Amino acid sequence: MSKILETSIVSRNAALKILLAVLKDGQSLSSLNHLTENLDPRDASFARMLSFGVLRFYEQLQAELKPLLKKQLKAKDLDIQLVILIALYQIIFTRVPDYAVVDAAVTQLRKSKKKWAANMANAVLRNFIRQQENQTEKQVSEEAEYSHPEWIIKRLKSDWPELWKEILQANNVQAPMTLRVNQQRSNIDCYSQTLESEFDLQVEKIDGAPDALMLSEARDVKQLPGFSEGWFSVQDAGAQLAARLLNPEPGEKVLDACAAPGGKTAHMFELQPDIKLTALDISQTRLQRVEENCQRLGFEPKLIAADAVAVKDWWQGELFDKILLDVPCSASGVIRRHPDIKHLRRAEDIEQLVKVQRDILIKNWEILKPGGRLLYATCSIFKVENEQQIEWFLQNTADASLVDFTDWKLPERQSESHGSEFPHASVGKQLFPVSFVNDGFYYALLEKTG
């Protein structure tokens, strides 16, 4: 076996493990870095590309595979199915020669415990290639056409009838890598010049996100200058709006109530280091990431591992000037960055998420000073988690008023202008993943009037 093919099998086996962990065991991609950390960087990158690709286009790939099988595979043979789907993904979406893809998939199965499947996979893949050469337009379901579960398609059609197709298509495009330059340790002009001159890396500033630099291609952060020194963090341009909307002032007592992994916590310090910031998260493990990220950037928030709803268990009696509630949500706005969301979220999850969001909002409103401001944030594009949630809260909370920031400029490329083309939320601001610049986020800024 050639060295190239042997390396390819290593990557494919890692991709298979990732896919099984997501689709069989229900684990998130963000928890599976250990499956590639011991691989050569190129092999690890290839494994991630394959696994992310299959998760992105799973429904389409399944629709292609089904008619090719004389007999549907059993649940216990999900691994065989995934080996074939990996190969189909490569044949359809990459430039790897078809013969090399088939050879690699067959070899992978022959070296597995299910050698019997190698000939079947060979026949299926070669049949697909023959059909593809004479392909005519086929009738496919919307799930297969847009590679999304039916329940997500239905909800987006209902919520955003003018934009649902564009959202689904955008979700299947790889998100850009965007940096947030730490103003306390560098500045955006100097750092962009460093990347362009010393690393031959094209970068782009983003209107509406003055700390953001979008890279022309993704890079390992540890290979970029100043990472260990805290010059920058990786953060989507849409997520960078949160700290600026909350606008912490010197001496203010600020709460980040669902803080992990700490990007927004750190950004508030970067904008105003003279604040008393408490970072709270229900997970001690995830809170450790907040601590690590802030230490690298040079900040020390007060850390509390507790449930944001159970305020009495951790609150020490002093009201907050500002509160950031980046609440648990469906994450429907960041599918292009986390394609496993399509497979891990269920329609029935939404009702429970809305209840949790509402409970967090009600309880944390109680510990906000009169005249203080609370920013409600999600990475969702579902109205029930966003504008409908805030409409309910405003109707049922006498001392809450909405702060208008409709004149805020949303992130966009300096060479383009998209904002006026997108539909608007009834209250607050909805960002969509349709432009190449940002993921889908929702923000509503509330002020306590009593």
pLDDT at position 419, please? 46
- Judge contact between 343 and 55, C-beta under 8 A: yes
The single residue listed with the structure tokens 């429904």 is 59
Q: Can you name the CATH fold of 241-448?
A: Rossmann fold (3.40.50)
- Judge contact between 449 and 372, C-beta under 8 A: no
- 25, burial (CB in 10 Å: exposed 0-12, middle 13-18, buried 19+): exposed
- Judge contact between 181 and 213, C-beta under 8 A: yes
Residue 255 C-beta-side C-alpha neighbours within 13 Å? 33
What residues contact 329, with CB distance under 8 A and at least 6 apart? 353, 357, 378, 379, 380, 385
Residues 108 and 349: their CA atoms lie apart, in Å, by 37
> 89-97 long-range contacts, Cβ below 8 Å, gap at least 24?
89/50, 89/53, 89/54, 89/57, 89/61, 90/50, 91/125, 91/128, 91/129, 91/132, 92/57, 92/61, 92/64, 93/53, 93/57
Residues 238 and 415: their CA atoms lie apart, in Å, by 18
Per-residue pLDDT of the chain in tens (450 residues, 90 and over written 9): 555 555 688 999 999 999 999 999 999 999 999 999 999 989 999 999 999 999 999 999 999 999 999 889 999 999 999 999 999 999 999 999 999 999 999 999 999 999 999 999 999 999 999 988 776 667 789 999 999 999 999 999 999 999 999 999 999 999 999 999 999 999 999 999 999 988 888 999 999 999 999 999 988 898 899 999 999 999 999 999 999 999 999 999 999 999 999 999 999 999 999 999 999 999 999 999 999 999 999 999 999 999 999 999 999 999 999 999 999 999 999 999 999 999 999 999 999 999 999 999 999 999 999 999 999 999 999 999 999 999 999 999 999 999 998 778 778 775 555 444 788 899 999 999 998 899 999 999 999 997
- Judge contact between 410 and 417, C-beta under 8 A: no
Domains 3-145 and 178-234 share a fold: no
pLDDT at position 223, please? 87
Find the DSSP H helices in 237-379: 241-246, 263-271, 284-297, 341-344, 349-365
Find the DSSP H helices in 111-227: 117-133, 142-146, 150-159, 164-171, 188-198
Q: Choosing from 258, 294, 329, 379, which is the catalytic residue?
A: 379
- Judge contact between 61 and 81, C-beta under 8 A: no
pLDDT at position 61, please? 98
pLDDT at position 48, please? 96
Residue 345 C-beta-side C-alpha neighbours within 13 Å? 24
pLDDT at position 5, please? 58
| CATH code, 3-145 | 1.10.940.10
Mode of pairing for the β-strands spanning 320-326 and 253-256: parallel
pLDDT at position 316, please? 92
B/e letters for 126-153, b = 16+ CB within 10 Å, e = fewer, are: eebeeeeeeeeeeeeeebbbbbbbeebb
Distance, C-alpha 297 to centroid of its chain: 22
Specify the amino acid at residue 271: L
Per domain, the residue ranges of the chain are 3-145, 178-234, 241-448
Q: Can you name the CATH fold of 178-234?
A: Alpha-Beta Plaits (3.30.70)
Predicted structure pTM score:
0.94
Residue among 232, 351, 225 at smallest CA distance from 293: 232
Using DSSP, state whether 350 is helix, strand or coil. Answer: helix
Sign of CA dihedral 75, 76, 79, 83: negative
Residues 61 and 86: their CA atoms lie apart, in Å, by 9
Look up residue 207 and give its DSSP letter: E
pLDDT at position 104, please? 95
To the query of whether residue 379 is one of the catalytic residues in this protein, the response is yes
pLDDT at position 257, please? 96
